[in-house]
Chain A
């Protein structure tokens, strides 16, 4: 495959109109305010499935990333610690506008939901003991637990498919130490992550 990036001087790109389909498809470069608005929009429209929204906006609507770039960036974010979409906002913003771009994207992603959730927290503090609200929340929590179980079941399928014993065992060991025995997370991860990565390394 021919990879496009032959980095020329930045000035002619900036002078050109953003979309000239005949030449190499250089992605449009978002400004700081565009970064903020894009991630605020993604954040506020993303119930649970932020990934789908970010893909639609970044790749299909604004054409800031090619599908390949999106997948690569997202794969990177998924294995970094912290929220995936949060890492995505930081890396994406930095790629276009440096540290300020990271901050703009991060502020867009976290600012509006932070304000919103504090408002919701205020309502809960006042009305949290109403039986109707409590029952509704119990219902939602029960459904959310079910959704997570379905995710686990889907993720687990490929682990068992390659007839490996060790990877399911690592998953089980993590579950027992955290989910059943309630051991502190940093301690458990300090042991289990190096072991798991080490095994994956040796068995390539």
Chain B
């Protein structure tokens, strides 16, 4: 793991662009993070990526915190900071100016069209994230069973994510995954 300027620059550039394409929140950008950091740059293996995702889920805070872990893995503390700022900066500045202007176009026609147009895209992206994570984890039929059971339970009852994670982690600890 070498922390040269080129790597930091690559991290910054990629996540700064991704920041503006992460519609529907941090989790919908997970497939793109996987494509770039595993398939293109070979910074992480499939398993490390799935682990990173799981660790980010276990950390309190925004889901976006996964980028900090990726940055840390690639280039240490500096990488973590640079990546976090790159992922938050552009979209944050954009939100700042839109927020200032928002009173002017509140409830306007295009506002409705934009949000309704984005819903199916966000849906497709979230489905992609689930698939990418499900297929990159060390996948056995037992792990698939956990995915299925969690999906069914969370669909029919309100489950706090921590409970789902606790049960799954415990099953894993007992060697049942």
Contacts and interface: CB of A to CB of B under 8 A. Distances in A.
Are A and B interaction partners? yes
Interface of A: 43-50, 72, 75-87, 90-91, 94-95, 99, 102, 106, 109-110, 112-114, 116-118, 120-122, 124-125, 128, 132, 134-156, 159, 167-168, 170-175, 178-180, 182, 184-186, 189, 192-193, 196-201, 204
Size band of the interface chain B makes with A: 35 or more
A148 B21 contact: no
Nearest to A88: B95
B125 to A, nearest CB: 6
B11 interface: no
A27 B177 CA distance: 50
B172 A137 contact: yes
A121 to B, nearest CB: 4
Interface string B124-138: 111111111110111
16 contacts: A48-B57, A80-B91, A84-B25, A91-B99, A117-B55, A117-B59, A124-B55, A137-B55, A140-B169, A142-B139, A143-B164, A145-B151, A147-B151, A175-B127, A179-B31, A185-B32
Given A81-B23, A144-B133, A184-B32, 13 more contacts: A48-B162, A72-B106, A79-B115, A81-B91, A116-B60, A118-B72, A145-B130, A146-B153, A151-B126, A152-B130, A155-B122, A156-B123, A174-B124
